[in-house]
Amino acid sequence: MSQEQEYGADQIQILEGLEAVRKRPGMYIGSTSIKGLHHLVYEIVDNSVDEALAGYCNEINVFINKDNSITVTDNGRGIPVGINHKAGLPAVEVVFTILHAGGKFGGGGYKVSGGLHGVGASVVNALSEWLEVRIHQDGKEYLQRYERGKVMFPLKEVGPTTLRGTHVTFLPDKEIFEETVFEYATLKQRLREMAFLTKNLKIVLTDRRGEEDKTRVFHYEGGIKEYVEYLNKTKKPLYDNIIYCEGQKGNVYVEVAMQHNDAYNENVYSFVNNITTPEGGTHLTGYRNAITKTFNDYARNNKLLKDSEPNLTGDDIREGLTAIVSIKIPEPQFEGQTKQKLGNSEARGAVESIVSEQLTYYLEQNPSVAREICDKAVLAQRAREAARKARDLTRRKTALENMALPGKLADCSDKDPRNCEIYIVEGNSAGGSAKMARSRATQAILPLRGKILNVEKTRLDHILGNEEIKTMITAFGTGIHDDFDISKLRYHKIIIMTDADVDGAHISTLLLTFLYRFMPELIKEGHVYLAQPPLYRVERNKKMYYAYSDDELNNILNEIGRDQNNKIQRYKGLGEMDAEQLWETTMDPEKRILLRVNMDEDNSSELEVTFSTLMGDKVEPRREFIEENAKYVRYLDV
């Protein structure tokens, strides 16, 4: 029959293609975990962002529907419905059923944004229980439906329309994904980032799963300038304006926004075609070269740096600098082990020349800003010199005394780091109980005294002079920053154990901030944990029950009965437990609960905001953050 003739051979090939996706989903979307699940959404949204970049669409809506299906709509031209001559099928059907059909059909769309592996709609289709596409074009609405990649009926016209654009709804396949419940917060973060990276594009996220719809609108006229403003909202900017450079060289489009704040760490995020590049690459190198050269030239020409003084280093100039470097390039090449590092050499030159030229002009036009930055860099230069001396001192010490472990450390006897854990414990009394409670072979205890230094607010030379910090660095064995060597890690589990109250949470956050800034690899590699001491003890007829949350306390009371035979104690601190109780509830590997601290590289700008919001001076953003993340409130220092 004609249907058979038309679809026969092609259809078989198509199904083989999509079948391959279903057999090895990880090859196409990275993983089938919750991360892969969210990638499906980004793959689809990327297509609408392309349409916006091409100049035909200015609004994208994303809905999380009640059944955990996702709808993405845009107000663009609509995917072409005409027959694609090579495939003999409507172009839209090609997009959804043929693997690797990119955006270049029906008149040459300029595809710049690319999903995780440059795959696309057909992969999402193959991994969805069902998917429906509706196209509003020239007054007509078209519909096609697929189930697990298979076409349910030929593209059909379903009526007139006054709209324009593409609507796609899909339900991820439960046979494929380990998890199929979308996280609003995760989608929110990525969509906000996409909106920052595409100025004037309005992206609306709506969660329809609750009693009431939850909606967030992301729309930034200033694009990455507003991104920098957002990242600096918890800090004190050094000057009011955001420095902005934009231009195109060859086929590389470059945008850079930056502003210094009064903190000491650099905070630069780079993107290629709207995808984050945590390992940087040529675009970032070009940017750094430009900054270093331009500021040194300016400082010399204006006598802000004496002839006798050495050049400012890139690090000096970028102290406290928040920046976004975003480029668009038609054929990005990624290198390195994780293929996350941009390799195109033309990107280096393009960024370097655009930033040098425009930054030079900016500094000439804004001498007071230029002076602020140079003064700060000169201070940084001096502090760096002092820090180097402090570090040399600690280094020489370890070289001489080799492994002179801190006296307060109760080390474990096993020497294989894979078996070993170190408990960082707040306070001497809790440290004492922990030392008695521990399993000597594998558990080391390091008690810390008093307040931990807030490394967000302290310059490197002072940080490295701090006793508690020095103690931790020596105990872990890895060194820090450039000297960091994870193979020297002496304990594969670093467990932070603090009281389950506001002060304890504060100390945990300070410790995590230190680790995040000085040894982020430990967090990335999953070596850092938070111990979970119980909140309550219930004693009934000489039997003990421990509850780690209010809910759990309720469950226990329901189970054992609510009457006067219960003695309920609320633990205010670790110190209230004796060694045996501490072991049983918090340290016994068989029974304890540990929370592993996560850090997702794709998310590091958001993590940065979280840390600086929690640790910074400004009260208002912290209060807002806590209100937005209400479920964590009891862990935070308000």
Closest by alpha carbon to 584, among 543, 629, 621, 633? 543
| C-alpha to C-alpha distances, 323 to 258, 436, 455, 456, nearest whole angstrom | 4, 49, 21, 18
Interacting residue with ligand TSJ among 14, 41, 42, 47 (CB under 6 A): 47
Q: Residue 25 or 115: which CB sits closer to ligand TSJ?
A: 115
* CA–CA distance, 5 with 11 (Å, rounded to integer): 10
Helix (H, G, I), strand (E, B) or coil at 376: helix
Q: Which C-beta is closer to ligand TSJ: that of 48 or that of 128?
A: 48
| Region near ligand TSJ per CB under 6 A, out of 72-80, 312-320, 338-346, 498-506 | 72-80
Nearest approach in angstroms of CB 220 to ligand TSJ is 21
Residue nearer to ligand TSJ on the CB measure, 76 or 281? 76
39, 77, 288, 328: which one binds ligand TSJ (CB under 6 A): 77
* Active-site residue flag, 346: no
Token code pair at residue 495 = 């467990």
335 catalytic residue (yes or no) = no
* Identity of the residue, 136 or 318, whose beta carbon is nearer to ligand TSJ in the bound complex: 136
- For 270, phi then psi, to 5°, come to -115, 150
Alpha-carbon distances, residue 592 vs 419, 534, 586 (angstroms)? 16, 10, 5
Closest CA to 197 of 350, 45, 349: 45
315 is catalytic: no
Q: Are 189 and 182 in contact (CB under 8 A)?
A: no
Provide the token pair at 413.
């006897």
Residue 254 near ligand TSJ by CB under 6 A:
no
Alpha-helical runs (H) found in 127-262: 184-197, 224-231
Strand-strand pairing, 128-137 and 140-147: antiparallel
Over the window 141 to 180, marking each residue x when it contacts ligand TSJ by CB under 6 A and - when it does not, the resulting string is -------------------------x-x------------
Give the nearer residue to ligand TSJ in terms of CB position, either 121 or 523: 121
- Of the candidate spans 47-55, 314-322, 376-384, 533-541, the one that interacts with ligand TSJ by CB under 6 A turns out to be 47-55
Name which of 161 and 366 has its Cβ closer to ligand TSJ.
Answer: 161
- Concatenated DSSP letters of 495-561: EEE--SSHHHHHHHHHHHHHHHHH-HHHHHTT-EEEE---SEEEEETTEEEEESSHHHHHHHHHHH-
DSSP conformation letters of 413-432: S---GGG-EEEEEESHHHHH
**Any contact of residue 48 with ligand TSJ (CB under 6 A)?**
yes
**Which is catalytic among the residues 10, 335, 503, 601?**
503
One of 106, 223, 534, 616 touching ligand TSJ (CB under 6 A): 106
Site for ligand TSJ in 546-575 (CB under 6 A): none
Question: Would you count residue 109 as binding ligand TSJ (CB under 6 A)?
Answer: yes
Look up 501 and say whether it is catalytic: yes
Candidate list 426, 584, 602, 606, residue with the active-site label? 426
Residues with catalytic function: 426, 499, 501, 503
Give residues in contact with ligand TSJ (CB under 6 A).
Answer: 44, 47-48, 51, 72, 74, 76-77, 79-80, 95, 103, 106-107, 109, 120-121, 166, 168
